[in-house]
Homo-oligomer: A and B are copies of this chain.
Amino acid sequence: MSGKFDDGAAWSKLLSVHAVMMHRLEEMLQSKYRISHGEFEVLLRLSWSTDQRMRIRELADASVITRSGMSRLVDRLENAGLVQRETAIEDARGAYAILTSAGRERLDAAEASNIALVRESFLSLYKEDELGQMVEFWTRFFNHPSPEPDS
Given contact pairs A10-B134, A135-B10, A137-B126, A2 touches B118 in the complex (Cβ within 8 A): yes
Q: Is B14 a contact partner of A149 (Cβ separation < 8 A)? A: no
Q: Can you tell how many copies of this chain the complex includes?
A: 2
Nearest B residue to A14 by beta-carbon distance? B138
Interface residues of A in 93-151 (CB under 8 A from B): 111, 114-115, 117-123, 125-126, 128, 130-135, 137-142, 144, 146-147, 149, 151
**What number of A residues sit within 8 Å (CB to CB) of B?**
58
A64 at the interface (CB under 8 A from B): yes
Q: Is A16 a contact partner of B114 (Cβ separation < 8 A)? A: no
Q: Is B2 a contact partner of A134 (Cβ separation < 8 A)? A: no
A60 at the interface (CB under 8 A from B): no
